[in-house]
Amino acid sequence: MKTPLLELYYFDSCPYCQRVLNIINELKIKVTYKDIHNDINEMHKLYYVTGRKTVPCLFINGDPMHESLDIINWLKANLETLEKTE
């Protein structure tokens, strides 16, 4: 199975984003980060694709997933197929 490409749209002061970021760090999962407060183009892309500006949003091979608990559960369930940082 091919390793999925993961992109996380987030911003630092969001508590739900922090939940997801903590799990990503704990599990050492390789993710590309898209901070929507530091890059307005990323916020526009998020809105264009999803119709929402809410974060966290994890794009899995280009398909968006919202809701921190759904993201966390997906990451844990698919851990064996995900690229690690170490």
And the tokens for 75? Answer: 């990451």
CATH number for 33: 3.40.30.10
d(CA 72, CA 35): 18
* CA quadruple 68, 41, 62, 7: dihedral sign: negative
Domain range holding 75? 6-81
Mean pLDDT by 10 residues, the chain (86 residues): 91 97 97 97 96 97 97 97 91
Task: Examine residue 40 and state whether it is found in any structural domain, yes or no.
Answer: yes
Whether 61 is covered by a domain: the verdict is yes
Which of 83, 73, 76, 69 has its CA nearest to residue 7? 83
Report helix angle 68-77 to 15-27, nearest 10: 10
At 36 the three-state DSSP class reads: coil
pTM of the predicted protein model: 0.94
Number of domains in the chain: 1
Domain-embedded: residue 73: yes
